[in-house]
Amino acid sequence: MPTEPLLLQERHALILQRLQTDGRVLAPDLAQWLQVSEDTIRRDLRDLAAAGLCQKVYGGALRMPLPAAPGGTPAQRRSAQADRKARLAAAAAPCVAPGSVVFIDAGSTNLAIAQALGEARLTVITNAPAIAAALVDKPLIELIVIGGRIHAETGASIGATALRELEPISCDLYILGACGVDAQAGVSAIHFEEAEFKRRVAALSRSVLVATTSDKVGTAAPYAVLPAASLTKLIAEHDIDARQFDAFAARGVRVLRAAKP
């Protein structure tokens, strides 16, 4: 608690520090902590959101997802946190029912899920060449690839051609790759076209599953995909924040924890 009034830059620095530690901040709590009005805090949060340093939500703000390393490619992201993603995949793979039609979205955790699928008969649809390559030699999987230009950062087709090819599709399960996951802000994506594509697949699917590492929980990317209540299952790491666990569960989402290391 400050002993004297803080400068604007000092307030912003303290707010960002709290965001980095807790993943979220609430305007009334910040106002009390920093001994300023809630209107002042709301202006501070608007300024920080405009600078791309947080995501403003009703009553407070959320930490932005950690960016990929400069120049990071999809291949480089796949090699990061491999053990953590393998544990998430082991928890998610049993959620895929034999004989079902599953859409597996792009993403390194989703690739781990594809690799963890057993020998059951499935139809798998994907817009990610890396996921298609992981499944092409599985004899019981009927593989359908959504095409079009590959978006370099996501490693997937997400443009107009891909959207057109979705039209005849109906899925039992959508394994959605999320950039931000929060009980209040829902599921979000970094790119506009990516969010649009994910929303369309979700609309064509009977259930939606997200598997995510802890660094994405309690964060919000710029473009909304789905409200939290639209998720069927959330596969989280064993140390998911208890507040997030309870808030997702209260919205009807089944939250499953991956095994401890």
pLDDT digits (tens, 9 = 90+) for 235-254: 999 999 898 999 999 999 99
Q: What is the mean pLDDT of residues 172-181?
A: 96
**What SS3 class is residue 139?**
coil
Burial 170-196 (b: 16+ CB within 10 A, else e): ebbbbbbbbbbbbbbbbbbbbbebbbe
Of 186, 240, 230, whose CA–CA distance to 209 is shortest?
A: 230
Look up residue 123 and give its amino acid. Answer: T
Q: What is the mean pLDDT of residues 50-69?
A: 78
Banded pLDDT at 124 (limits 50, 70, 90):
very high
Alpha helices in 23-146 (DSSP H): 27-34, 38-50, 74-79, 82-92, 108-116, 129-135
**Res 71: pLDDT:** 40
Q: What is the mean pLDDT of residues 189-212?
A: 96
**What SS3 class is residue 196?**
helix
Burial of 140 from C-beta contacts in 10 A (0-12 / 13-18 / 19+): exposed
Residue 236 β-bridge partners: 257
Per the prediction, the chain carries an average pLDDT of 90
DSSP 79-103: HTTHHHHHHHHHHHGGGS-TT-EEE
Look up residue 133 and give its amino acid. Answer: A
Q: Is the pTM of this model over 0.85?
A: no
Q: How far apart are CA 30 and CA 42, in angstroms?
A: 10
